[in-house]
Structure formats: C-alpha cells, structure tokens
Amino acid sequence: MNYGIERKQPELNPKNIRNSAYLSSLAEEGVRCGAMTGEEYQNLQFGLYKQLGEMISMYTQGESTSVMAETASELALALTYNIDAYLLSLGNHYTALEEIRTKTPDVLYVKGLQSVKLLVFETTSLLVKARRMRVNVPNYEYNNALDTAIPELLRGYDIKFAPHRLNPPPERKRRNRRYKDTMLDYPLAVPVVGAIGIHYLKSYLINLCSENKFCLDFGQLAIASLYKRFCDVLGESYDAPIVNIYTLALLNALFADYLKKEHGTLALTDDDIDVAQKLLLSFSPEERASILRKCAARLYCGDTDYNIRAFERLLPAVNNAIENNALGRLLVVG
C-alpha cells in the first residue's frame, strides 16, 4: 500500500543527454534513473542490430548480409542519425524516451527517414530564402556557397545510407565538375558547432539568412561600397577575400552607433576611428565590453540575438585592437 502517497516518477538528467548521440545517451540515462528497464534496453539493442542487418541487405541490394567493417560502421551511424532526427523532432526527452520504450527500431527508423526528408525540404526552402536575400558582392566563396556548394551538397545527400555525411554527388553526376566548387568554404560570423549532416546545413543556412537580412537592412549599395573599400585597402581583387561580409557591416554599424553617427550609416572616417579609439581606451576592458554590448543590442537591423552572439565572438579582437591602438585595422575606413 502507498497510503495515498504518489510515487515519484524517475527524473532524467539533461546533462547526461547529448543531441549528437541522442538515442544512445537518452536510453542510457533512462536506464540509469529507472525510467527504462534493463530488458527494454536489451530489446532496443537487439532491434537496432536487426535493423542494421536489414540496412546492409538494402545496401548490397540483397546480394549479401555482410560488408566491410568500415561500411557497417557507416551504416550504423546512418541508422542512429535517422532515428535521432525523429526523436529530436519530438522536442521532449520524456516523449522521446517513451517512443524508444514502446516502438521497435524498425518503426523508429521509418519515422526517422520521414523526419530527415522534412529537414531536407526545410533546408532547401532556406536556400531559396538565402538566395532571395543575397548580397550583391562579387565575393567568390559567398556566391559559390549559394550557387554551387550548397545545391550540390543537397543533390548528393544520401538520406538512407549516409545522412550523417555531406558529400557532393559523384563527379559524373555533378552539374559543376570542379570539386573545389562543391566545397562550402564561406565562413559564418557564428559558425555551426556540434551538428552534422542535414542538421549542419540547415543551421548554416539559418545563420546565413540572419546575416543576409542584416546586410539588406542597410541596403545593397551601402554593403557593396563597404566591401569594395575593404578589398581596396587589402589590395585584393574583389572576388578573392575569404571574409565574412556581415562581420564587416556589423563592426562598422556598431561603431557608427557608438559615435552617434547618422542613423543607418556604415561609413567611418579616420577621425571617427581616432575618437572611438581615445574614448574607449579610457575605460577598463570590462566597462568597454559593457558599452559595446549595449551598442550591439541596439542595432535594429537583422536578428538582434544573432547580432549579439556574433559580437561576443568579435569582442576579444575588438578589445585587443583598442589596447594596441589598431582599431583602424579592424574597421573599414573611407
């Protein structure tokens, strides 16, 4: 008898659950806290092994039930990646654990395939959005990302057997035969960390859309002029620099705001740099950081949260430039 006392439900510890290995870490945490029985865990392992066998058969088109160890490992990663995609889409650890306990891995795998297909659709839609918001600059890596690299990675994406990988199609199937053009080398202000496969590509495009929106809010002409000045100072051809265009705009916009310049301007002069340098050098690094963070939060263009995250990554370089009287090297002047 429990005398009316309700038994406390097992509690999952989120710190033990990793999105990068969601199925395994969630199941292990479920066993640890008593939310999943040892027998259920063993059934899960057996079901995964059985489903892996089915995948090997599909991979070899029924000609074999065994493959090289490296291939088997890749297929096992594909299996768990797809299941993880479904479980993560549920948005709740307890709901996901209940699915693991009550559904067999073959069912979870099919649901996972559907979830990954949806992710591919969402990612393709983000690519269309990013292209519509394109900044008109002749930067090779930027334009190649939108025109060739990302489309080729989507065309070569293998939902069934390699969803955890991003590879272009085989050379004979590529629309653009140069392998270099299929490399996604345009740097983001806030890099995508900890995501692989289609999750990486979707996150990359979400960030790129935020960057494009910020730039477009200042206008194509202002961004093109800023980029041209940057290249001229660098002495490079306009297509060559491997630089994040949004970062150039963000830093100039932030210091223009700090100096109370005309609303929406990106233009800074040598005198502006001297004034900002002297004013900010009079503060301690902590006070300086607080002042500049407030400027970043005030910027009305783009996504405020993204702007703040991007500036946090730039803050050490900004502080270092001010301390070394080198702010003019960090900003675009002219």
**Number of Cα atoms under 13 Å in the Cβ half of residue 194:** 6
pLDDT tens digits, residue range 98-113? 999 999 999 999 999 9
Q: Are residues 28 and 150 in the same domain?
A: no
State how far the Cα of 201 lies from the Cα of 126, in Å rounded to an integer: 10
Q: Are residues 27 and 161 in the same domain?
A: no
Residue 312 counted as domain residue:
yes
Q: Are residues 251 and 301 in the same domain?
A: yes
| Diameter of the chain measured on Cα atoms | 82
pLDDT tens digits, residue range 146-174? 999 999 999 999 999 999 999 888 765 65
User: Which residue matches tokens 């559907």?
Assistant: 114
Q: Which two tokens stand for residue 43?
A: 């059934």
Give the residue from 92, 107, 122 where a domain finishes: 107
Q: Are residues 103 and 137 in the same domain?
A: no
The reported pLDDT for the residue numbered 100 is 98
Q: Give the range of the structural domain holding residue 177, as residue numbers without chain letter.
A: 133-330
Q: Which two tokens stand for residue 35?
A: 């939310």
Q: Which two tokens stand for residue 146?
A: 């939108």
State how far the Cα of 181 lies from the Cα of 44, in Å rounded to an integer: 42
Partners of residue 91 on adjacent β-strands: none
Among 184, 191, 133, 145, which residue's Cα sits nearest to residue 309?
191
Residue 62 counted as domain residue:
yes
Q: Which two tokens stand for residue 125?
A: 């839609």
Among 193, 195, 199, 184, which residue's Cα sits nearest to residue 122?
199
Among 36, 15, 50, which residue's Cα sits nearest to residue 97?
36
pLDDT tens digits, residue range 183-230? 899 999 999 999 999 999 999 999 999 999 999 999 999 999 999 999
Q: Are residues 96 and 146 in the same domain?
A: no
Residue 116 counted as domain residue:
no
Q: Are residues 95 and 147 in the same domain?
A: no
Residue 112 counted as domain residue:
no
Q: Are residues 175 and 225 in the same domain?
A: yes
Q: Are residues 154 and 301 in the same domain?
A: yes
Q: Are residues 153 and 97 in the same domain?
A: no
CA 322 to chain centre: 30
Q: Are residues 140 and 101 in the same domain?
A: no
Q: pLDDT-derived band of residue 37, with 50, 70 and 90 as boundaries? A: very high
Q: Are residues 87 and 157 in the same domain?
A: no
Give the residue from 66, 92, 107 where a domain finishes: 107
State how far the Cα of 282 lies from the Cα of 263, in Å rounded to an integer: 25
Q: Are residues 31 and 146 in the same domain?
A: no
Number of domains making up the chain: 2
Residue 294 counted as domain residue:
yes
- Read off the pLDDT of each residue in 54-72 and give the average, rounded to a whole number: 86
Residue 243 counted as domain residue:
yes
Burial category of 164 from C-beta neighbours within 10 Å (exposed 0-12, middle 13-18, buried 19 and up): buried
User: What's phi and psi for 197, nearest 5 deg?
Assistant: 60, -145
Residue 2 counted as domain residue:
no
Residue 270 counted as domain residue:
yes
